[in-house]
């Protein structure tokens, strides 16, 4: 009996060409595994395509709810944003996919897992760190780094390879954007984006929505509720997190929300430019932050902001299955105990406009915050506070003045 390899299969040209290549190069029995994180119609026709290409079996594993509940929600609660803009759409999905690949490999008794990530990108790191953490005994095959065995350098080469192996597929050699899609976002790379001096061709690019200029000339009102930092209802209707994100994607896309053009620093050391569409995710992050403004104290917010940035770095670098991620997430979860309440906002031409926030755990005290003098605040108390708070500055200034006088 031949040894088995589990191939992370997307149905695209790269991973389709990998099926006959793995059989020919290693004499493996190829088991394909496509992990559904919300790719939509990209899953259509995969079973026929995989079998036609020589796979012995195809798993299509639906993990949309697990992806939302166990990976997206912790990042939303942490306020995890990489380099101020990127909401980690691909970064969050890779450890979830790696987990499922390991499960299928165990089930099939496979000796190896193969992925089609290139040797220049972040995904090779995310896949492989996840696999190493969960299954250190399973071999990892990364063809794009095996230049002595994987000799194909272009789509034309891959199409010719497939045809030589009797596989006629509905792919052509025309160039298009390199995309990654799941329920949270879709990313775009390539073509004019490879030149930072060029503006993105949004009319030819966008999939999930429209630019703010093409959004309606009217506001869309939205109301959401959260319980302990987890979204629960949207416009009065209780939904699963995956359903809320799906609906927010629709509303956000229609209103030009969540389009980001970024030059980011990859883990491997190079800069890369991409455009991310994250309409629902952008709204969800903003709504959660809107509620936290009301319910978290100053020092907790400051510490959480620092750790949230570190959490984003950890996730971006593929270190999901690490003690550090678990520790930061434990801190974040402890801060969410009182992040419960209702947020209202309006969507208008790329903007998310606050329209009111309420919480039973609100720390906003109208008596304290108003310009009238309340029972809890005596203006005279500020004298002593400022004296002590500014004492280091005053002492330093006195010292500098004395030093200058001694020089004279």
Catalytic residues: 14, 94, 123, 178
Retrieve residue 236's tokens: 């009065």
The kind and range of the H/E element at 82 are none
Residue 8 known to bind ligand: yes
Dihedral of alpha carbons 164, 170, 174, 179, sign: negative
Residue 13 known to bind ligand: yes
Residue 86 known to bind ligand: yes
Q: Hey, how many other C-beta atoms are within 10 angstroms of the C-beta on 163?
A: 11
Residue 359 known to bind ligand: no
Residue 190 known to bind ligand: no
Residue 370 known to bind ligand: no
Residue 178 known to bind ligand: yes
First-to-last C-alpha distance (Å) of the chain:
93
Residue 9 known to bind ligand: yes
Residue 109, classed as helix, strand or coil, is coil
* Contact yes or no for 147/240 (Cβ under 8 A): no
* Contact yes or no for 102/134 (Cβ under 8 A): yes
Residue 45 has φ and ψ, to the nearest 5°, of 75, 10
Which residues 6+ apart lie within 8 Å of 257 measured at CB?
A: 209, 251, 279, 282, 283, 347, 350, 351, 352
Cα-based distances in Å from 404 to 391, 392, 396: 20, 19, 12
Residue 154 known to bind ligand: no
Cα-based distances in Å from 74 to 88, 91, 285, 325, 334: 12, 13, 11, 10, 12
Burial of 56 (0-12, 13-18, 19+ CB in 10 A): middle
Residue 381 known to bind ligand: no
Residue 204 known to bind ligand: no
Half-sphere exposure (Cβ direction) of 316: Cα atoms closer than 13 Å = 20
Residue 15 known to bind ligand: yes
Q: Rounded to whole angstroms, how far apart are CA atoms 270 and 380?
A: 56
Q: Rounded to whole angstroms, how far apart are CA atoms 105 and 114?
A: 11
Q: Rounded to whole angstroms, how far apart are CA atoms 15 and 176?
A: 17
Residue 322 known to bind ligand: no
Residue 123 known to bind ligand: yes
Residue 338 known to bind ligand: no
Q: Rounded to whole angstroms, how far apart are CA atoms 198 and 185?
A: 23
Q: Rounded to whole angstroms, how far apart are CA atoms 211 and 203?
A: 8
Binding-site residue ranges: 8-16, 86, 91, 116, 118, 122-123, 126, 178, 187, 264, 276
Binding-site residue ranges for ATP: 8-16, 116
Binding-site residue ranges for L-citrulline: 86, 91, 122, 126, 178, 187, 264, 276
Binding-site residue ranges for L-aspartate: 118, 122-123
């Amino acid at each position: 009996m031949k040894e088995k390899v589990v191939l992370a299969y997307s149905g695209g040209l790269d991973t389709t060409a990998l099926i006959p290549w793995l059989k020919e190069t290693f004499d493996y029995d190829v088991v394909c595994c496509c992990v559904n994180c919300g790719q939509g119609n990209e899953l259509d026709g995969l079973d026929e395509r995989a079998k036609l290409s020589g796979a012995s079996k195809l798993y299509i594993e639906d993990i949309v709810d697990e992806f939302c509940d166990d990976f997206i929600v912790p990042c939303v609660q942490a306020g995890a944003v990489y380099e101020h803009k990127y909401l980690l759409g691909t970064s969050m999905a890779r450890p979830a996919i790696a987990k499922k690949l390991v499960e299928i490999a165990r089930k099939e008794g496979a000796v190896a897992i193969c992925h089609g990530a290139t040797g220049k990108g972040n995904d090779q790191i995310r896949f492989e760190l996840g696999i190493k953490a969960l299954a250190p005994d399973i071999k990892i095959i990364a063809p794009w780094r095996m230049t002595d065995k994987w000799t194909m350098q272009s789509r034309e080469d891959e199409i010719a390879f497939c045809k030589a192996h009797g596989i006629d597929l509905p792919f052509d050699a025309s160039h298009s954007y390199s995309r990654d899609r799941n329920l949270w976002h879709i990313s775009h790379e390539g073509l004019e984006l490879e030149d930072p001096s060029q503006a993105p061709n949004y009319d030819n690019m966008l999939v999930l929505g429209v630019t703010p200029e093409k959004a309606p000339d009217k506001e869309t009102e939205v109301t959401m509720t959260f319980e302990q930092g987890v979204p629960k209802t949207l416009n009065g209707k209780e939904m699963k997190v995956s359903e809320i994100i799906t609906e927010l994607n629709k509303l956000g896309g229609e209103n030009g929300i969540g389009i980001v053009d970024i030059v980011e620093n990859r883990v491997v050391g190079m800069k890369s430019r991409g455009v991310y569409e994250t309409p629902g995710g952008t709204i969800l992050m903003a709504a959660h932050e809107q509620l936290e403004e009301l319910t978290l104290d100053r020092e907790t917010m400051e510490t959480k902001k620092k750790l949230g940035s570190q959490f984003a770095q950890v996730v971006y670098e593929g270190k999901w299955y690490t003690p550090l991620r678990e520790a930061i997430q434990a801190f974040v979860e402890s801060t969410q105990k009182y992040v419960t309440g209702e947020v209202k906002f309006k969507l208008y031409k790329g903007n998310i406009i606050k329209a009111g926030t309420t919480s039973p755990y609100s720390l906003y005290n109208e008596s304290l915050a108003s310009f009238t003098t309340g029972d809890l605040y005596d203006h005279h108390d500020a004298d002593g506070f400022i004296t002590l708070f500014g004492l280091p500055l005053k002492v330093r200034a006195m010292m500098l003045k004395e030093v200058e006088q001694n020089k004279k």
